[in-house]
Amino acid sequence: MSDKTFRVELTLDIQPGKEKEFERTWLEVGRVVSEHPNNLSQSLSASREAPGRYRIISDWTDEENFRRFEMSDTHAEHIKKLQPLRAKGSMETLTVLHYVPGASSR
């Protein structure tokens, strides 16, 4: 990861009882997104404090390429798969200014 990475963070609350289906569907979608030439990484985390709440972190080379992907038919298909499982969600975009890997990842 380089400095100035464009990061998208989504927080999603999933309908009760749909968590495992969401995780399977997200993994399928995440694998496809990770093949995009401007995608750096994808991750899905589950909240320990709020059951059914997930955080998606998606890192991109730059905002322009992310926005192009966001408007694509491929992304629209992903949304169709995930939308029925969501109760609510929010998105925030960030610029990663510095990245320092920890000792165990070196």
CATH architecture assignment, domain 5-96: 2-Layer Sandwich (3.30)
Q: pLDDT tens-digit profile of 63-87?
A: 999 999 999 999 999 999 999 999 9
Residue-level pLDDT at 106: 75
Give the chain's mean pLDDT. 94
* Over residues 4-15, mean pLDDT: 96
Nearest by Cα to 21 from 59, 48, 54: 54
Task: Give residue limits of the domains in the chain.
Answer: 5-96
Full-model pTM? 0.90
Q: How far, in Å, CA of 64 to CA of 60, rounded?
A: 9
C-alpha–C-alpha distance, residues 12 and 85, integer Å: 10
User: Which residues, at least 6 apart from 41, have a Cβ–Cβ distance to it below 8 Å?
Assistant: 1, 34, 57, 58, 59
